[in-house]
Structure 1
């Protein structure tokens, strides 16, 4: 088993080596360097990788994609680090020039539960995934609502729109809700490079 911090460093290393066209530092080497981290997880789980970029004093989203299937680790982290960075349809692919402004987060998902209704979840604790009319789905990770300052109702409305129902209110939508929790670690470029230099 390995820590979430190790997976986050591995996600950063995966993109760094891809953009620099070099061989990545092996996961086993990163794991040894960070083995004292206590936030240990199992070898298979759903996950999301998120890239943010500095704009002035703010951090803004630069890519976020994941998968709700149980993914083998660390291979799933490696795969989605690149998908989130280079294939998120909302953004242009991340470039080498942007790398020093980036921060990376890996969120490993757990404790999936069906909600009794659309409001059966807690702000700041749960991520939510909705299925509308049994067809279109969308999710927000656990931190999104609190970071945006949304109420539960506002969160649901944004999520309904994210699922493509722009003219539908959340109260009118036929929503099946699943709530879940996440274990998240973040790493900025400078911290990642400090770690990387120690391993060279």
Structure 2
């Protein structure tokens, strides 16, 4: 399946091209990312440990405050008894102390959860590193800075021919960003607004009929002849779901994409050859790439 490292590599390739520097190789990115994950996990664990060590001291402070306040409270009139820091009142320092303990427990639980995620990420990365070639697509999206962060397509090109990932990802990262004729080439100033998605294609099968596929699971590659001309087009597995299309709407849209201009209610009269496939996709925003890249530069790698 596609991995974070694949996405980082695409960003690295494009950024290096636009900045006029030599990019890291895929294997260098994979090794660096593993080190980065370990480094940040260790830092997070250290921060959690520091918080846990601080809790006893914080408790002592609140206990001292409780003792002092209780002494003052005992000399107060009955009219101020609701401000007492005794154990039965909601305002008691015991509740604050419990909150501190809960914060520490939450931090420890979060650290354990993150450690589990790191293990899962490492396992996924190890599995991804075993894939050396695959048909693939690289998609660039522009992420809106407005609330909600809507996405708009900025470029998407790939190939159904298996590619060595080091060469294929770097090539199509640039081709989709700079040579998609539907858009102007991506400029350096746009990098902070971009998100990249890598889809490795698998499980190609001939569909029994145009409806023999599942929304959200399969991508489609269609081909057909009409008036002596051959047409063809593809949609990745996530396209139909993102657009909210039915199967029929997806097929008609795909035929339009291929260049067919017939009446949409007559699409069934066209003999379609449909190949369904699946796509193992991963995406990454520029902010995560920048954090990793800054770490790389700080390490002098």
- TM-score, length-normalised on structure 1? 0.94
Structure 1, unaligned stretches of length 5 or more?
Answer: none
Counterpart among 272, 275, 279 of residue 178 in structure 1: 275
Partner of 2:238: 143
Could you give the per-residue CA deviations for residues 114-164 of structure 1, whole angstroms, max 9, x where no partner exists?
001100000000001100128211000000000000000000010000000
Deviation, structure 1 residue 26: 2.9
Match of 1:157 in 2: 252
Which aligned pairs between 1:118-137 and structure 2 lie closer than 5 A?
118-133=210-225, 135-137=230-232
Whole-angstrom CA distance in 1 between matches of 2:21 and 2:239: 34
Is the aligned partner of 1:72 residue 2:164?
Answer: yes
Tell whether the 8 Å contact from 2:2 to 2:282 is kept in structure 1 after alignment.
Answer: no
1:49 aligns with 2:134: no
**Equivalent residues of 2:218, 2:237 under 8 A apart:** yes
Q: Which moved more, 1:175-184 or 1:33-42?
A: 33-42
Q: Please list every run of at least 4 consecutive aligned residues from structure 1 whose deviation after the TM superposition is greater than 3 angstroms.
A: none
Greater CA radius of gyration, 1 or 2?
2
Structure 1 position 46, deviation (Å): 0.3
SS in 2 for 1:62: strand
Q: When the two structures are aligned, how many residues end up with a matched partner? A: 199
Q: How far apart are 1:4 and its partner, in Å?
A: 2.3
Distance 1:101 1:109 in 2: 26
Q: CA deviation at 1:32?
A: 1.1
Equivalent position of 1:13 in the other structure: 12
- C-alpha contact 2:2 2:280 (8 A) present in aligned 1: no
The question of whether the paired residues in 1 share the 8 Å contact of 2:4 and 2:283 is answered with yes
Equivalent residues of 1:114, 1:179 under 8 A apart: yes
Larger helix fraction of residues: 2
Question: 1:3: how far off?
Answer: 5.7
SS in 2 for 1:19: helix
- Residue 181 of structure 2 corresponds to which residue in structure 1? 89
Counterpart Cα distance in 1 of 2:215 and 2:151: 21
Q: For the Cα contact (< 8 Å) 1:3–1:37, is it kept in 2? A: no
Bigger strand fraction: 1
**Pairwise CA distance, 1:29:** 2.1
- Residue 86 of structure 1 contacts residue 93 of structure 1 at CA under 8 Å; is this kept in 2? yes
TM norm structure 2: 0.63
Report the RMSD for the aligned CA atoms in angstroms. 1.6
Unpaired segments ≥5 residues, structure 2 = 35-121
What secondary structure is seen at the aligned counterpart in 1 of 2:173? helix
